Amino acid sequence: MRAVEFQEYGGPEVLKVVEAEIPRPGPGQVSVDVTYTGVNFADLKARGEGYRVPSLPFVPGLEVSGRVREVGAGVEDLAVGQEVAALTAGGAYAEVVVTDAATAFPLPENMDLRTAATLPTVLPTAYALVHTVGRLQPGETLLVQGAAGGIGTVVGQL
């Protein structure tokens, strides 16, 4: 399979297409045939300065949409061929990615895979900012500066 990785930190020029083995899910995991991958700020920080990069070479990508390719032992809530959006620990810049089944979410019938790929990182972050960090209560007002970005757009919708 093809994957995009970097072997050193820097700008977009450090990204390289490589051939890699297709990963197999372990217990409690699923593999996903990637249709779309979200590109977010954490990916840029990883490539540029090593944010949350355990070692090099590294395949970035924290959020993905696609179809379940294979389920690992103990996975009962997801099935091969099912459309999902998933939050990964990295590796989503590839044709196949493995993630914990607990972070792969079945898609409702009316959600397209392109939109779904943008949600696994942004939606929980926006929700946590409003409800956990901000503790917004009914009747209170919230100013969203920079509502043109992914998180700001979702905060505005929440």
List pLDDT tens digits, range 118-148: 889 888 889 998 989 989 899 998 888 877 8
What are the domain boundaries of the chain? 2-110, 118-158
Phi, psi (rounded to 5 degrees) for 33: -75, 115
| 3-class secondary structure per residue, 110-152 | CCCHHHHCCHHHHHHHHHHHHHHHCCCCCCCCCCCCCCCCHHH
Task: Please report how many Cα atoms fall inside a 13 Å half-sphere around the Cα of residue 4, on the Cβ side.
Answer: 13
Task: For residue 125, report the phi and psi dihedrals to the nearest 5 degrees.
Answer: -65, -50
CA-closest candidate to residue 135, choices 127, 124, 144: 127
User: What CATH number is given for 2-110 in this structure?
Assistant: 3.90.180.10
Residue with the larger pLDDT of the pair 127 and 32: 32
Query: Tens of pLDDT along 74-111?
Result: 999 999 999 999 999 999 999 999 999 999 999 999 99
HSE (CB half, 13 Å, CA atoms) of 39? Answer: 6
pTM: 0.87
